[in-house]
Amino acid sequence: MSQYPYGPHSAHGPGTPGSPWAAGRIPPATPDLRLLLKLTMASFALSVLGSLIGYAASSEQLAAAPGVPFLGTGFVLASAVLGIGINAGLYALVYFPLREQRQWAWILGIVFASLAVLGTLVNVVLFLAVPAVPAMSGVQGAMQPLYLLPAALKLVVDVVWLVVAVRPGVRAALR
């Protein structure tokens, strides 16, 4: 008898032709998994939208601040592109392996979605707790309510993502 319960000659081991993890035998993608993938893309789109609104407002705020040296729109644009690129990389790190039904991507997605929910809640609470600056006017003053819309939508999508992620249909499709 082998010391490993799933050795190469075991009837249930990962290397045997009858096991669900054998080459070419991937569990079928369930509707719950397909919904989870769509929610991942929706969360990414809302994240990009929120980032663009935030960068646009911060660019105007930095340009209008008296006595603060402003590095220019090139710096803001470069930081926006870098931030969105890093964000896209993190979403891709979950989306593509999850599409291939990898369990580690599911776990990573749960961690990222949980952190996103907590971060969004903190950001919304801080945004609502800090009173609006009376000197804000023009485009930036009008954009203040726009901070909340993508944040609220992303919060809803991320919470729904977590609810769908723990459904048995998702676990059944993972390998």
The 10s digit of each residue's pLDDT in 29-85 is 899 999 999 999 999 999 999 888 888 777 666 666 665 565 666 777 888 899 999
- Residue 136 vs residue 25, higher pLDDT: 25
Q: Please tell me the pTM assigned to this model.
A: 0.75
Note the Cα 105 to chain centre separation in Å. 12
C-alpha–C-alpha distance, residues 20 and 37, integer Å? 22
CA angle in degrees (0–180, nearest 5) for 117-122-128: 125
Q: Measured at the alpha carbon of residue 130, what is the angle toward residues 124 and 135, in degrees to the nearest 5?
A: 120
